[in-house]
Structure 1
């Protein structure tokens, strides 16, 4: 893994879970991590309830745009986190892959999306601790 790891979050529509995860990683790790997100069948816009849930937590994902998953995005990533996209993700040797089983926020109200948002945050915090270990103190 490079000094600045690249993390790719993938879900089917790139409109909810993967966008929330990308938002959390940017908020928590800042510019220490390159953050990508994509979907195997992206929607035309971010789920507005996911945007609302993240805004409640102080993270703005309103201007994000769903993107299609490409082989290049996987190839350039150090860590690939899938969220219910099945077998559509290309597999490259030497990459770290994780599948996060999370409820899909599509069609859900804010009360159902908040716990998904909070679970994603907890997982992103663990991921940051693993890919960005604290530097040794002098």
Structure 2
């Protein structure tokens, strides 16, 4: 089974090594979807949504909300790079014998997103 929780946060950034309007400072209201996969427990719960919310907010959202991403992250803040950073922060926190992080989708605009799932990190 899979469960997903959705978050939003606002941040500013600019792309480096990029020739276009996004090299200038601008902001987004990001939408983040975090999906966990696993087996439900005897109570019928895969992961408590409150626990999932707490982990994602503490590891990702609070660190990025209302910030200048270039200063906080220290790399070229493309949607693709940000989502890999998110995966690395969440993977160990969302891994137990019953469940694991399955997928992250990060919407930069209502029509643009990046997505990674567990298959992208298998070796």
Q: Shorter chain as normaliser: what TM range?
A: 0.3 to 0.5
Structure with larger Rg: 2
Q: TM-score, normalised by structure 1?
A: 0.30
Q: TM-score, normalised by structure 2?
A: 0.32
- Give the structure with the larger helix fraction: 1
